[in-house]
Amino acid sequence: MTEARHPARRRALAALVALPALAPAARLLAAPTASAAPLLQLFGRLRARPMRLFAAGPPAAVLLACLAPERLLGWPAAPSEAARRWLPESLRDKPALGRLSGRGSTVSVEALLALQPDLIVDAGSVDATQASTARRVAEQTGLPCLLIDGRLADSPRQLRELGRLLGTEAHAQALAEYAEQALALPARSATARRPGVYLARGADGLETATAGAINAEIIEAAGGRNVADTGHAGVARVSLEQVLAWAPDWVLTQDRQFHRLAMTDTRWRSLAALREGRLLLAPDRPFGWLDGPPALNRLLGLRWLAMRLAQPAPVDAANAQVLDEAQRFYRLFYGLNPGRAALQGLLHGDA
């Protein structure tokens, strides 16, 4: 499941619902509790260990690229040339196959069936609608579908449970341990007052992910408080006047164009956060450190943001601790060993 304007109402896998039923009924990998669905839900029947994996959307693609890169058939959409430079060659050259989830399918049924995947994997925010649709796809195509609840806090369990299913337990365990360390870091550094953070999206900075949205989970996870607490979790357009009224302690963005705008625009600089140097530009290559997609890529962003919010004053974005952490993450999750100079450029928005 991918970033969506209303994550709980994604039109997941909608292009497949008209096909005749071919597969047996679905089953679950874990028993649901009274309050929540299981973390992993398998619809259809796996006849052997899955070796050919189709990612239904970007979050699933990142998850599979980190956990079983050699089995990922391709990307939902081609990575940009800039992003490709931050991927190992084996992932860089994967084809673009189209997506089945999010704001509309871009892969045909014929193309999907011709790929003969052993398993379709979708990840992100999950509700009864997504589960019902995944079940229908498995029944109507004969291809098993795995639906993964992709909340950031569940990253260690996602990795371990998927690792068991794929037979990649050792690598999954290493990634899960990193995830646990990242999630625990803010608990050690948080103070009584959680700094207010505004997440600026888009070139004008006036799109944001509100409190409770999967696209903004990283703020609370890093020890901050999302000032855009509207009572409705999702992605929304807001006015600059509303942002000024929220008076965030920090402004956080992943958009380089907005970062350039905010550095010079007199209206944005009326915010104390900008005047006092608390505008943060998160790297976005090969995937966003904050979002884009909301997947495992956020674990590095979580550690980076927690370190930044814990500082009483702005610090160098590319200090030694951040560079060490980035090198470790890129090696472990992406199979890439970037040099420190390249990472410095990335952290400063130059790479």
Q: Which residues in the chain show pLDDT less than 70?
A: 1-37, 102-103, 187-192, 312-315, 317-318
**Which domains does the chain show, CATH number per domain?**
7-174 (3.40.50.1980), 190-347 (3.40.50.1980)
Is residue 298 helix, strand or coil? helix
CB 87 within 8 A of CB 79: yes
Confidence (pLDDT) at 37: 62
Distance set, CA 344 to CA 1, 34, 331, 340 (Å)? 31, 47, 16, 6
Confidence (pLDDT) at 87: 97
Half-sphere exposure for 121 (CA within 13 Å, toward CB): 33
Confidence (pLDDT) at 100: 87
Compute the CA torsion angle 327, 332, 338, 344 (nearest 10 deg): -30
Helix then strand then coil, in percent of the chain rounded to 5, is 45, 10, 45
What's the DSSP call for residue 78?
P
Confidence (pLDDT) at 22: 32
Confidence (pLDDT) at 110: 85
Confidence (pLDDT) at 11: 38
Query: Of 64, 92, 95, 53, nearest to 77 (Cα)?
Result: 95
Confidence (pLDDT) at 15: 40
Confidence (pLDDT) at 274: 96
Tens of pLDDT, residue by residue over 90-141, are: 999 999 999 987 567 888 878 889 999 999 999 998 888 888 878 988 888 8
* CA angle 207–83–90, rounded 5-degree value: 140
Q: Which residues pair with 42 in a beta bridge?
A: 146
Distance set, CA 239 to CA 193, 206, 207, 306 (Å)? 26, 6, 9, 27
Length of the chain in residues, anyone?
Answer: 351
